[in-house]
Amino acid sequence: MRHEINVRFILCMITGCLSLALLVSNPGVLMAQAPPGPPPGAPRGPREYVPYDPAKEPAFKGEQELRKGADALRSGGDSPFPQIVKKVGPDLFELGTTTLDLKARRVTVPGRINMVNGIIEYLAVMDKRGKLHESLLALDVQPSFMHLALILLGLEPGEFTPGDPATRKPPAFSKWGDAVLLWVEWGREGKTERIPAATLMFNRATQKPGDTEWRFTGSVFGRGAFAADVTGSLIATWPDFRAIINAAADVGNPYRGANAGFEVNGRAVPPLDTPIRLVIEPAGK
């Protein structure tokens, strides 16, 4: 039984790597991909997977539409996306479950603790869609809304050069994008705990809690779909060109060595399924 599970896990990893290479070299195939099934190694129980459905999820058709809407909101005009962006107070907006506070310069997203031990490739993914088997946090958020909220804060995303499968040249960031601060908050004994998100991670090379710089790299559009909406990738601990935020320091693939990548810091993380809030702020605040 153990051998069968290991084989299935290896096959899943190989399939995932091939899909990533195809996506970053040709974002236009996003909508052609079949939604992945529940991956092996999930932290508990069967995983509920909800594939991206543009008919049910308000989203943006492309970068130009998103930017035009952001400019209109910044200038004090009416929301060009009334079904997405709602003003609920002075300098306070709601984008679905995401809260944007322009005065405090802060974006807040609700979620939960998804893992309390093990290797991670993501600090956070979208709940019910991202790679929950290797993400510390599961966030209740539409990824494109979170992306728009960061642009409304005045943050600029990065840029990357696509890979070339013919020459085996991997994609690479040509511009990192603005630096951000990430915090995790949760309630305990009537008080709010607030710590840097990286404290919940453990650097396997240094054997110390994670200490990394986070960058708003932004995701990509292909065939009218926002890649992060399709894949659920939000905050990656090693390069994912579909994620919205990436760790600036590449500490390696955690599956390729005991001293590579990150794992959950079991000494700092709250219990499984603890409700949390992820807070994103400009690093130059």
Q: What is the pLDDT of residues 108-118, one digit of tens each?
A: 999 999 999 99
pLDDT of 105 strictly over 60: yes
Backbone angles phi, psi at 72, to 5 degrees: -65, -40
Contact 100, 146 (CB under 8 A): no
Closest listed residue to residue 26, CA positions, set 220, 213, 276: 220
At 231-250, the pLDDT tens digits run 999 999 988 989 999 999 87
The residue segments making up the domain with residue 183 are 2-282
Q: In this predicted structure, what is the pLDDT of residue 32?
A: 33
Overall pTM surpassing 0.75 (yes/no): yes
Which tokens is 126 given? 């979208």
Which amino acid does the sequence have at 274? T
Backbone angles phi, psi at 260, to 5 degrees: -115, 150
pLDDT of 187 strictly over 90: yes
Paired with 120 in beta bridges are 262
Chain mean pLDDT for the chain? 82
Number of domains in the chain: 1
Pairing between strand 225-226 and 201-203? unpaired
pLDDT-derived band of residue 285, with 50, 70 and 90 as boundaries?
low
Distances (CA, A) of 275 to 145, 153, 184, 221, 271: 20, 25, 10, 31, 9
Burial 102-112 (b: 16+ CB within 10 A, else e): beebbbbbebb
Percent of the chain with pLDDT over 70: 82
